[in-house]
Structure 1
Amino acid sequence: MTAANGRASTTGSGSAGRTAADAGTTRGRAADGAPAGRGPVDDTVAAVVRQWQAVHPHIDTAPMEIIGRINRCAALLQQAEDAPLRRAGLTRPEFDVLGALRRTGHELTPGEIARETFSSGAAVTKRLKQLSERGLIERHGDTRDRRVAHVHLTDAGRDLIDRIQPEQLSYERIALSGLDGDGQQDLAALLGELLIQLEGRLGAPRG
């Protein structure tokens, strides 16, 4: 994320199958671009936008209003979601490795883990070493190619990820509770459309 520290950037259950276009037409917008029936949004990003508009009255702040809010929401959500990970002694990247092994349901090579977690090979090697030392994963060589390693969860690793994942979902459910079912679907559709466009142009980030 551009503003991983949570600061706004200072640079320029409804029916299934709804699309991003449906979201825009269904909810409607007022003439000034705000959602129909709603007043101006007054959040931390709005304050930043007003300050920039005061300095540069003719600047187009529309991108800042979107990207700044996405960055701020991402930082707040990750801060909340990382709480159960810290209690378990895991970092977010380590949790992602365990999650990839659990959700795919089979052994993975380090290269496959790197692709599943949008990480570099060097970063995955370090995380696998740490998880192996804790007894959460095991590695073994390929019988046909000794250069290839295969990674799988231990019982302890599976138990840990199965315990933490419901906590993560609970945090997410609470975080989204301010939006009704239709609002959540609309937001998911719009974010999905944006994600597809960004990944197509920029590629997936690796860390």
Structure 2
Amino acid sequence: MAALSLRARTRELWDEHNPGLDTSPMEVVALVKRITALLELAVEPIYDGAELTAAEVSLLVPLRHVEEDVTAIRLAERLNMSRAGVSKTLAKLERRGLIARVPDPADRRAALITMTDTGKAAIDDLFPRELEAHGRLLAGLGPDRAAVVSALTLLADTMEAALDA
């Protein structure tokens, strides 16, 4: 509750000192940041001492059951991540034997990424526990879950459209 009053007070202060400034985006952005922080807090114990980081799991989840060849560029695009960040993380995963990269026969500059059995075992262990932690956080939504998903989809689509414009 204190965080809510702090956000409201922060907005009031900005409105006082900069009367022409539109502070309305703060409402949405503050909530998104709060939700992100809560999601991270929920999984923190899972990753304490784990073989993978949360960022690495985010990269490996889409690779786990992939049916087509995937390059780092395609993976970065799918996950809306920077190519440099994806490449750096993949290099770490490859050094640890969790993924393998082989030259793409269609484009020698690119590499096809596959998970090793070690990588599959690691993701099969951690990802279900992450889902369970998130599930506990979201259980209270009940029948409102569909409305929340719809609103968040609208938010994500609106933000993507603004970036694409």
TM-score, with length taken from structure 1: 0.67
Whole-angstrom distance in 2 between the partners of 1:83 and 1:106: 33
Q: Which moved more, 1:103-112 or 1:129-138?
A: 103-112
Say whether 1:157 aligns with 2:115: no
Higher strand share goes to which structure? Answer: 2
Greater RCO (CA < 8 Å, at least 6 residues apart): 1
* SS of residue paired to 1:148: strand
Say whether 1:49 aligns with 2:11: no
Whole-angstrom distance in 2 between the partners of 1:115 and 1:165: 21
Pairwise CA RMSD: 2.5
Deviations 1:33-63 (A, max 9, x none): xxxxxxxxx4512332045436746887654
Which residues in structure 2 correspond to 1:122-161 (within 5 Å)? 122-161=84-123
Q: 8 Å contact 2:57–2:127 — kept in the other structure?
A: no
2:38 aligned residue: 76
Q: 8 Å contact 1:49–1:64 — kept in the other structure?
A: no
1:89 and 1:60, CA in 2 relative to 1: closer, same or farther beyond 3 A? same
Give aligned-pair identity as a percent: 32
* SS of residue paired to 2:113: strand
Structure 2 unmatched runs, 5+: none
Higher helix share goes to which structure? Answer: 2
Which residues in structure 2 correspond to 1:52-201 (within 5 Å)? 52-53=11-12, 56=15, 62-179=24-141, 181-201=142-162
Whole-angstrom distance in 2 between the partners of 1:53 and 1:144: 57
Whole-angstrom distance in 2 between the partners of 1:126 and 1:65: 34
Greater C-alpha radius of gyration: 1
Deviations 1:159-187 (A, max 9, x none): 111111111111111111232x2222211
TM-score, with length taken from structure 2: 0.82
Q: 8 Å contact 2:72–2:83 — kept in the other structure?
A: yes
Q: 8 Å contact 1:131–1:137 — kept in the other structure?
A: yes
Q: 8 Å contact 1:139–1:151 — kept in the other structure?
A: yes
Structure 1 unmatched runs, 5+: 1-41
Whole-angstrom distance in 2 between the partners of 1:103 and 1:82: 25
